Amino acid sequence: MTIKVRFFASMRDRMGKGDATVNFSGAKMTVTDVWQQAANGAPMPESTLIAINMEYTDNNAVVKDGDEVAFFPPVTGG
């Protein structure tokens, strides 16, 4: 299974890369698994926004082969 990973805004700066590819051979992979591989074990910041194939989801969502998982920093404003 191959998953494309994209990091946006300050996530890109934190990871030192804008995108990555994660390969997985297990039966099931969640967004948390994708993060752990793409971020080399760094903890996922709280309130991280996540999208699979441009639809927002949470870190427990299961990914499928060919999916694109995007991570965004929390949105703030005032």
In a domain? residue 78 = no
Specify the CATH number for the domain of residue 6. Answer: 3.10.20.30
Please check the confidence at residue 75 and state whether its pLDDT lies above 90: no
What residue numbers bound the domain in which 29 lies? 2-72
Instruction: Tell me the pLDDT band of 78, cut-offs 50, 70 and 90.
Output: low
Check: pTM over 0.85? Answer yes or no: yes
- The pLDDT value given to residue 63: 97
Query: The tokens of 56 are what?
Result: 């927002």
Compute the distance between CA of residue 12 and CA of residue 36 in angstroms, rounded to an integer: 15
In a domain? residue 77 = no
H or E element at residue 50: strand 49-52
Domain count, the chain: 1
In a domain? residue 48 = yes
22-74 per-position pLDDT tens digit: 998 877 999 999 999 999 888 998 889 999 999 999 999 999 999 999 999 98
